[in-house]
Amino acid sequence: MNKRHLISMGSISVLTLLFLACNPMPKEKSPATKIKYEQQLDSFFTALYKKKMFNGAVAIKKEGELIFKKGYGLANLQRQTPFTPETAMEIASVSKQFTAAAIMLLQQQKMLDIDRPVQAYLGVDFPYSHITIRHLLTHTSGLPDYEPYFRQHWDTTRIVHNVDVITYFSTQKPQLESTPGTRYHYSNSGYLFLAEVVNKVSEKSLDQFLKKHIFKPAGMNSSGFYERDSIWHLKDYAPGYLLDTENCSLVKPETLPGKSYYNFLSGRLGPGRLSSTVNDLIRWDSILYTDKLLNEKNKTFSFTPHPPSIDDSDYGFGWHIQENDSLGKIVYHTGSWAGNLSYIKRFTSSHSLIILLNNTHETNHMKHIRTALDRFVSGGPLILPKPKISDLLQKEICSLDKNKITEWANRNRNAEWDLKTLSELEKKYEDKGDKKKAELVKQLLSARANIPAP
């Protein structure tokens, strides 16, 4: 072997080591470890489901290896279909990372420049000359939210589409909340305009662009945008539900008083409304470790915070970014809309991953569930959060009476007794004229003193 060949082989070895250092291979778990993790996580989510704290699907990767994937409960209550990892659900603001990825693909193709004014692409339809695409990506544009205007002024029998929001901004020219680039204001309006930039530059709607350039290459065959009226009848789909506190049942969100906007604001693209599955989001996580979509430079842009000049911010391009001394870089996003709660968290140094989809609006518990899973993926114990007694009561109070309340309280003595919230709930029932429920809450508060500690 000649010297030149030896040098070449040595260079390859160095490059290989560098690649492996930046892209660690999954650490394969032993069969016993896999079984242990699976049993732990299944027990965890089974308990959550039984306690009415979770209804949906979950996936967990630990150090690059998928260790758990399962669904719990029903996706569609009327059709009685199970919620599985193949069930699609609207992922709300988790959609923003896909809108941002579309923009970065166009930047990568040199079809736009994120530091140019938005007006360079949208013209006078966008009446703010100093706002750049980067400002929209990072929520530093100062654009006000469109939602309050449409809730107050819109004909609720008509669906709002992007063109309607654009017309509002171009004709009404609402005042900015801050000078572009100076402060962080989370902005659905900004991401709606990013969808319009994609449309103008690529001559494809965001839906069409994502399907061709992201979903198809990633194998995300169940991801896309659906008309709201259709989701209640789709196979393998989980529409979101909210609790009707009058009769303690889960219902279509737009049927509740004051919630009709969940229907008429269901036509916009960019800030939300994308539907996906646990399986597709796993594929999305995997492809982001390659250069098949975005090159390393543009992924670095996306996964780096871009704070404004005055405020602090952890926001990159469609992702929140954390830097942890022991865990390295972590990128994540949450979503909440019309009963749906979504969560994706990527531990990019260890290739660990958490995906959660829930369609029964368990806002009282999702933060605690996320914290428990974050700790577990990071090497800590898996600790089951306690249900809040106020949440349990609102779901079950319709079946209780004064003769059952003490027994019910004793049965749930291990719950988190959020007494302040219970007192607020008593007043809420009183204000609504529901004397029976108000009296039951009052009795529950009194019964608490006589319940033995768990």
Tell me how far apart the alpha carbons of residues 360 and 366 are, in angstroms, rounded to a whole number. 11
Q: Is the pLDDT of residue 15 over 70?
A: no
Q: Is the pLDDT of residue 452 over 70?
A: no
In a domain, 77, yes or no: no
Q: Is the pLDDT of residue 147 over 50?
A: yes
Number of domains in the chain: 2
In a domain, 441, yes or no: yes
Put simply, whether the predicted model's pTM sits higher than 0.75 gets the answer yes
Residue partners of 413: CB distance under 8 A and separation at least 6 = 451, 452, 453, 454
Region 443-451: mean pLDDT is: 81
Question: Same domain for 115 and 210?
Answer: yes
In a domain, 215, yes or no: yes
DSSP 316-385: -SSSEEEEETTTEEEEEEEEEETTEEEEEEEETTTTEEEEEEESS--HHHHHHHHHHHHHHHTT----PP
Four-residue CA torsion sign, 14, 15, 17, 22: positive
Region 307-317: mean pLDDT is: 95
Question: Same domain for 405 and 341?
Answer: no
Closest CA to 103 of 317, 267, 365: 317
Question: Which of 377, 410, 435 finishes a domain?
Answer: 377
Region 294-315: mean pLDDT is: 94
- Residue type (1 letter), 88: A
Question: Same domain for 321 and 430?
Answer: no
The pLDDT, as a whole number, for residue 325 is 83
Question: Which of 350, 377, 404 finishes a domain?
Answer: 377
Tell me how far apart the alpha carbons of residues 400 and 352 are, in angstroms, rounded to a whole number. 44
Burial 376-403 (b: 16+ CB within 10 A, else e): bbeeeeeeebbbbbbbbbbbebeebeee
Question: Same domain for 343 and 396?
Answer: no
- Which tens digit of pLDDT belongs to each residue from 125-138? 899 999 999 999 99
Question: Same domain for 193 and 317?
Answer: yes
pLDDT band at 390 (very low <50, low <70, confident <90, very high): very high
pLDDT band at 454 (very low <50, low <70, confident <90, very high): low
Q: Is the pLDDT of residue 25 over 60?
A: no
Question: Which of 331, 356, 377 finishes a domain?
Answer: 377
pLDDT band at 29 (very low <50, low <70, confident <90, very high): low
Question: Same domain for 351 and 417?
Answer: no
Region 63-72: mean pLDDT is: 96
Closest CA to 229 of 358, 81, 338: 338
Region 17-21: mean pLDDT is: 40
The pLDDT, as a whole number, for residue 349 is 93
Domain that holds residue 209: 89-377
Question: Same domain for 168 and 215?
Answer: yes
In a domain, 287, yes or no: yes
Question: Same domain for 260 and 350?
Answer: yes
* β partners of residue 65: 62
pLDDT band at 34 (very low <50, low <70, confident <90, very high): confident
Region 422-448: mean pLDDT is: 92
Question: Same domain for 144 and 279?
Answer: yes
Question: Same domain for 373 and 394?
Answer: no
Region 339-355: mean pLDDT is: 97
Question: Same domain for 346 and 420?
Answer: no
- Residue in the block written with tokens 């409960």: 73
The pLDDT, as a whole number, for residue 61 is 96
CA end-to-end distance (rounded Å), the chain: 75
The pLDDT, as a whole number, for residue 22 is 46
Q: What is the chain's mean pLDDT, rounded?
A: 91
- Which tens digit of pLDDT belongs to each residue from 392-415? 999 999 999 988 898 999 999 899
In a domain, 193, yes or no: yes
pLDDT band at 453 (very low <50, low <70, confident <90, very high): low
| Strands ordered across the beta sheet of 89-90 | 89-90, 274-276, 224-225
* β partners of residue 243: 250
- Which tens digit of pLDDT belongs to each residue from 259-298? 999 999 999 999 999 999 999 999 999 999 999 999 999 9
* β partners of residue 334: 343
User: Higher confidence at residue 23 or residue 389?
Assistant: 389
Q: Is the pLDDT of residue 164 over 80?
A: yes
Q: Could you tell me the CATH number of the domain that includes residue 373?
A: 3.40.710.10
In a domain, 57, yes or no: no
Q: Is the pLDDT of residue 422 over 80?
A: yes
Q: Is the pLDDT of residue 345 over 90?
A: yes
In a domain, 317, yes or no: yes
The pLDDT, as a whole number, for residue 31 is 78
The pLDDT, as a whole number, for residue 27 is 58
Question: Same domain for 310 and 396?
Answer: no
The pLDDT, as a whole number, for residue 141 is 97
Q: Is the pLDDT of residue 9 over 80?
A: no
The pLDDT, as a whole number, for residue 364 is 87
Q: Is the pLDDT of residue 339 over 50?
A: yes
In a domain, 52, yes or no: no
Tell me how far apart the alpha carbons of residues 435 and 21 are, in angstroms, rounded to a whole number. 65
The pLDDT, as a whole number, for residue 13 is 39
